[in-house]
Amino acid sequence: MALLDRFRPKWRHSDSDTRMEAVAEITDPATLVEMIVSDPEWFVRHEALSALRDLSPDQEHYARVMRESGDEEIRRKVVKVLTDERELQRAARHDPYRYVRDAATHRIEELRSGIWNPSGS
């Protein structure tokens, strides 16, 4: 454990297991987004995304993940919950990963056809 860990919040701890534990305690979507886009461990990032989805945050949090995350799988998962067509269009045209571009295109088609009701009802 690094000396500075005593003064850091748990989600910024040097130990990945401690950061994983912190995810369960976080109720602030912005903090979870920060973990998703910056944590060095893939399993922490994915756990943080799962926690974020459980909070049902507004679309801007997902849009930030799309703009800042370098993790292809995270980006693909976020496309599935995005309802902001502008962000989806951006991903469909410019995402560096073809798999994400294809998923964004498919998501746009879903939203336009009404296959999935974004409000969950």
Low-confidence ranges of the chain (pLDDT < 70): 1-2, 5, 116-121
Query: pLDDT at position 37, please?
Result: 98
Cβ atoms of 49 and 74 within 8 Å: the answer is yes
For 13-24, the pLDDT digits (tens) are 999 999 999 999
Torsion angles phi and psi, residue 117, rounded to 5? -80, 115
| Whole-angstrom distance, CA of residue 37 vs CA of residue 104 | 19
